[in-house]
Amino acid sequence: MLLIHPPVAKPGEPPAGIARLAGALRVNGLPCRVLDANLEGLLWLMEQPEPGTDTWTRRAVKGRGGHLAALRERQTYRSPDRYVRAVMDLNRLLAVAGKENGATVGLADYEQADFSPVSSAGLLRAAAEPERNPFFPWFSRRLPELLDDIRVVGISLNYLSQAVTTFALIGFIRQRFPDLTVVLGGGLVTSWLRRPAWRNPFGGLVDHMIAGPGEEPLLALLGARPECRQPPLPAYDLLPLAGYLSPGLVLPYSAASGCWWNRCSFCPERAEGNPYRPIPASQALDELRTLADRYRPALIHLLDNAVSPSLLRSLANTPPGAPWYGFARIDDTLADYDFCRALRRSGCVMLKLGLESGDQGVLDRLHKGIDLGTAGRVLENLRLAGIAVYGYLLFGTPAEAEEDARRTLDFVVRHREAITFLNLAVFNMPAFGDEAIDHGTEPFYGGDLPLYTGFRHPRGWGRREVRRFLDREFTRHPAVAEILRRDPPLFTSNHAPFFAGG
């Protein structure tokens, strides 16, 4: 079997999904190959531009090798200007290389005229015309090298930015290797399959589509019974670990699927009915320590929607063996300063916190389970403990009005010394959540595969008004502007720990 991670996703760390699948196949005695087509394809595409006529492209082409090396060196992250130039020049190379095919390619995104990732017609067109994909010259040579004795191809499709190239890959495979079995899974596929009244438009291309964790369905498809003697570890050794654009190996690890809180209004996880499936904290810690001993990562990235309190306590008591970061909920667990100190001693360099709003009424109406007084104590505890905070704010929910957003600004300003980085997002209404029908939904963008829908805000606080507030008021406040300037461009939270001491 061949497992593929397709372009485009941030190439800072190996893909956890196919590494976990490969580990499950390995422990059951099933041979497989793994292709990080995202990393290989992006590195190939960066090599294509000629110097060109504009100064930026000439500079980017000249510095290409040095920029790639710089992003793999720790000292670059001590010089923000050098880091920014490397990232933006490499992104420029991708943008130039994609133009000939009408594609906008970047280190973290992908768009192409005529091929919409939210339209089955657009994706079917991408499969019918794979030669129009900017990665085609690469994958049309690379795939035949790997598919000679392969019977099954599994592709992990997690993001909209991967969808168009995923279907171009599938189209090429169908044209050149029509007898292969094609299996499609991943986060985006899960979202499709869990839509109400889902009807598969890809039956002629894809043999099997899998929702949620894919280990057991994949083993069943291959005719194997799961081996219970030991839990499978992700097989990261099958991937090009020295090639990722980070200063040392970043090891991604998921201790759970779904969310342990699972009560927030307008949550995509709830809308899709994704259950919370944790690995026992003791097992997760054993796996983390084994992986850290085996691979010696520079950083562990915990992928959980929110690391559970039980796993946080286990990490505080028994360090995993490498610096680490991940998402956590703001609650009484982190309101204990001594506990935050223990987390720092365990290697925690950064926590991502989904505060969403600095107004208590908004938080209550969203069922976030966050008390602002507790949030303030948590932020101060983390600051004193030496743990960076990547804060997430969400504007324009039906629970919020403009005056509430100003209270969020006030909260950020009050706690500016404790908030290291900020992510500002405009609310998108999940297309099939229970709450959507109550808010006058309307088309958000064309296509039959939307994840989100437009809606009429009950207080007139629409997307245009929210963006105007963010552009003209929120981001212009000196305290907020200073925080936002620290955010690593394009790689954002994936590289932020390296600027915070990770």
**Residues 165-169: what's their mean pLDDT?**
98
Instruction: Give 170's Cβ-side CA count (13 Å radius).
Output: 29
Least confident of 176-185, 214-223, 358-367: 214-223
Least confident of 4-8, 75-79, 224-228, 391-395: 224-228
Q: Where residue 440 falls among pLDDT bands split at 50, 70, 90?
A: low
- Asked if 391 and 467 sit in the same domain, the reply is yes
Neighbours of 222 (CB within 10 A): 17
- Residue 499, pLDDT above cutoff 80: yes
Do 3 and 166 contact (CB within 8 A), yes or no? no
**Residues 426-431: what's their mean pLDDT?**
90
Phi/psi region, residue 338 (left: phi>0; alpha: psi -120 to 50; beta: rest), is: alpha
- Asked if 254 and 216 sit in the same domain, the reply is no
Domain, as residue range, for 480: 248-499
Q: What share of the chain is helix, strand, coil (3-state, %, to 5)?
A: 45, 15, 40
Do 390 and 350 contact (CB within 8 A), yes or no? yes
The percentage of the chain sitting over the pLDDT mark of 90, rounded to a whole number, equals: 85
**Residues 32-57: what's their mean pLDDT?**
95
- Residue 229, pLDDT above cutoff 70: no
Q: Where residue 433 falls among pLDDT bands split at 50, 70, 90?
A: confident
- Asked if 268 and 127 sit in the same domain, the reply is no
In a domain, 131, yes or no: yes
Average pLDDT, rounded, for the chain: 94
Domain end marker among 221, 240, 256: 221
- Asked if 330 and 455 sit in the same domain, the reply is yes
Least confident of 42-56, 186-200, 263-277, 394-408: 263-277
In a domain, 18, yes or no: yes
- Asked if 215 and 253 sit in the same domain, the reply is no
- Asked if 173 and 267 sit in the same domain, the reply is no
The pLDDT, as a whole number, for residue 413 is 98
Do 260 and 278 contact (CB within 8 A), yes or no? yes
Q: What is the dihedral of CA 142, 234, 259, 307, to 10 degrees?
A: -120
In a domain, 231, yes or no: no
Angstrom distance (rounded) from CA 369 to CA 375: 11
* Higher-confidence position of 126 and 439: 126
Does residue 8 have a cis bond before it (omega within 30 degrees)? yes
pLDDT tens-digit map of 85-130: 999 999 999 999 999 999 999 999 999 999 999 999 999 999 999 9
341: exposed, middle or buried (C-beta count within 10 Å: 0-12, 13-18, 19+)? middle
- Asked if 145 and 10 sit in the same domain, the reply is yes
Tokens of 25: 């196949």
In a domain, 339, yes or no: yes
The percentage of the chain sitting over the pLDDT mark of 70, rounded to a whole number, equals: 97
The pLDDT, as a whole number, for residue 71 is 98
Residue whose token pair is 């090599």? 47
- Asked if 186 and 262 sit in the same domain, the reply is no
In a domain, 95, yes or no: yes
Query: Which CATH number fits the domain that encloses residue 301?
Result: 3.80.30.20
In a domain, 243, yes or no: no
CA angle 352, 263, 303 (to 5 degrees): 35
Q: Where residue 46 falls among pLDDT bands split at 50, 70, 90?
A: very high
pLDDT tens-digit map of 281-321: 999 999 999 999 999 999 999 999 999 999 999 999 999 99
Partners of 3 in beta bridges: 34, 154
Least confident of 251-265, 411-425, 437-451, 460-474: 437-451
- Asked if 120 and 264 sit in the same domain, the reply is no
Do 195 and 209 contact (CB within 8 A), yes or no? no
The pLDDT, as a whole number, for residue 8 is 98
- Asked if 290 and 199 sit in the same domain, the reply is no
Do 255 and 238 contact (CB within 8 A), yes or no? no
Residue whose token pair is 């850290």? 292
- Asked if 380 and 481 sit in the same domain, the reply is yes
Partners of 350 in beta bridges: 325, 388
The pLDDT, as a whole number, for residue 273 is 75
Residues 6 or more apart in contact with residue 30 via CB below 8 angstroms: 1, 219, 222, 224
Angstrom distance (rounded) from CA 155 to CA 218: 12
How many domains is the chain partitioned into structurally?
2
First to last CA, the chain: 36
- Asked if 34 and 168 sit in the same domain, the reply is yes
In a domain, 17, yes or no: yes
Q: Where residue 227 falls among pLDDT bands split at 50, 70, 90?
A: low
- What are the Cα distances from residue 362, in Å, to 328, 372, 423, 493? 20, 11, 18, 25
* CA nearest neighbour of 9 among 136, 162, 148, 138: 162
In a domain, 190, yes or no: yes
Angstrom distance (rounded) from CA 416 to CA 482: 9
